[in-house]
Structures are given as C-alpha cells and as structure tokens.
Amino acid sequence: MWTIPGVKTGNLWDIFCKVIDNFGDIGVCWRLSASLAARGERVRLWVDDASALAWMAPEGANGVEVRLWTRPIATQGLPMGDILIEAFGCEIAPEFIAFYISKTKTSGKKPVWINLEYLSAEGYAERSHGLPSPVMTGPGAGLTKRFFYPGFSAKTGGLLREPDLEARQAAFDRPAWLQRQLGLTCQGERLVSLFCYEPAALGELLDQLAAAGQTGQRTRLLVTAGRATAAVKAYILNKNSLNPSWNKDSSLLFSYLPTLTQYEFDHLLWACELNFVRGEDSLVRALWAGKPFVWQIYPQHDDAHHHKLEAFLDMLAAPASLRAFHRAWNKLDTPPEAAPGSGLPPLALPEWQAAISTARSRLLQQDDLVTQIMRFS
C-alpha cells in the first residue's frame, strides 16, 4: 500500500460512472478506483454497465466494490460514504443524493462532492480546476460540488499514474511478454499497435506500412480487439479484391489480439515502437509508455475536438511532422507534407520520440491525479 504524507487514509469513496460507448469512461474510473484502494481507501464504484470489467480487470481489486447503478438506485442498508465523485458529468442519481442528505442529518458531516471532468490541455482546465459549483435545486440543494480537472500542468489535477509504474517498466521483459502473451518471436520487424475507431486514413496507413516493408522495413501491426480489428479486416478484404499484390510478400504482417486487461494493454504499448491510441485512458498510457504515438481524438459534432487536439499538440511541443500526421489521422486537413497520392505524411519516429520523451519526463515531475484528488478532498 502506498501512502501520501499528511493525508489520512481509510475514506469511503462513491464513484459514479455511466458507460457511454467504447468503455473509456469505465476504464478511467476503474484505474482511479483501483489506485485509490492501493493507497488504503475504500471505493464503491457505481456503474450502469460493468460487463467490460470482466476482461478489463478480471481479478478486481482489494478495497473496490463494484455496484450496479440501477434505476432507482438501491441504498437500503448502505453506510454513508465520505466522498462523492461524479465522473464526466454523469449526474448522480437524485435518490442517492437524498440518501446522503438524510445521513448527514444524523452524522453531522457533509460529504465532499467532486465533479471529475474530462482530460484536456486547453486553457479552461487550469482556469476551472477546483472551482465551486453550488447546487441550487434538487435534494442536494445547499451543497457545493468542486470541479476537478485532470491535466498536463501543475495548475490542474494531473494524470493517473501508479506509484510503481517506472519500476514495472524497467523490469519489463519485451521478448518474454511477446512470446507468452501473443506467441510471437520477432524477426527484426517493427512492432506497431493499433487501437482506433475507424479513421478515414486507415487504408493509407496500411499502404504506407506495406510499401515500407517492400523496401526493407517490415512491420507487424498488432491490432486490438473490437472496432480496430473489424476496420482492418474490412479494408484488407476490399484491398485484396481490387489489388491482390498490394501487400507483396507479406511485407506488412498482422496479428489480431484478444481483449487485454488494463495491465496487459500497458505492456502492449511498452512492447511497440509506435502506438496508435484513441480516447482518454489510452492517451495517458501512451504518454507513460514513452514511445512515439498517434492519438485519434473522439470526434464531436461541433468540431470542438479540433481545438482540443491542437492544445494537446501544443502541450507536447510536437514537431511539425507529428502535428501533420495527427491532423491527417484525425481528418482535420490534408497537410502539404503528405506523400503524393496520400493524405498521410511519412513516419518520423526519431523526431517524435524526442518530443514525447521530453514531455514524459516533465509530466513525471508532477504529482499524479490520485495523490492530488486525495489532497483535494
């Protein structure tokens, strides 16, 4: 168990999470819950669909109780918690707030109520972090929520990071893991992981990797289960029908992965020379992996994700080549650096590696999110 100097442990946290899609919300909430428990806290994780935890965290975590968020929510016989976390604006059930209020009348204490927001490098994260939000209506009227913004600067709530992360990375045996987990013995090919939605530039990426293989740089693409596998297989089926020789001599190799636990997903990122990630949780894990990566940001109908991506690239001090690739991968524009007939610029891994290593070193100097949220509460 890891302790935080000056912070009392043993609180009971109620963390509320709604699974919207793609399991990113529950992925973040599980890492938060497990990390709190590892520091001596107790957690009730309320979630409306816990099915993903069967493969994401099959062993569970001591100190974390997963409870189904029913309608209405079941509160009979529950002890009162100390800290409420409303993850990503999910709006805690009013009957649960009423339950808390009734308990405060007998205990004489008010719970700490935290609104955990989405991760962003945009300026509003610093400006809004820690601000109060008085509750004006409903059973919680009179209480005050506090905004907690994860982020990349000392003026935000930091990033999720386990205290033993660097030690685990240092002890990681790449060849042994590849053989044990994936049955792979590499023969000098470059390893690239792919965790994505359905990027419009996916076909161009596969063409680029296949072409590199024909000139000496073979690549093995490690494709994650779910949408990434479906997208890759659909592209290959279509490509094979139009141009059967596009991947001549299997210059681009494919390995389709099973669902991975969160720990094994970390290992996947550590094992690869380039990682394609999506959403919030895998972005943070790619940063800690310290390898070149490309992030597919979740698209928003009002194109707000454009500003979010640019702010992240600014934080990263991304070189022009990495900015251009991100913009093309996320369909923000077609950069002038792109190769003829392609929307994707070439990979510039040494340049990307330098920028990401520098950013990682800087971020490791900041307190992690769990340390900060425990102090905050």
The residues annotated as belonging to the active site are 25, 280
Q: Which residues contact 197 (CB under 8 A, 6 or more apart)?
A: 22, 227, 231, 278, 296, 298
d(CA 356, CA 316): 7
Calpha distance 67→73 (Å, rounded): 10
Q: Do residues 115 and 147 touch, judged by C-beta distance below 8 A?
A: yes
Instruction: Give backbone dihedrals phi and psi of 73, rounded to 5 degrees, phi first.
Output: -80, 145
- Helices (H), ranges, the chain: 24-38, 53-56, 94-107, 123-128, 165-170, 174-177, 202-214, 227-242, 262-271, 281-289, 304-316, 320-329, 349-364, 369-376
Q: Do 19 and 46 form a contact (C-beta atoms < 8 A)?
A: no
Tell the residue number behind the tokens 């007998």, with chain if given. 106
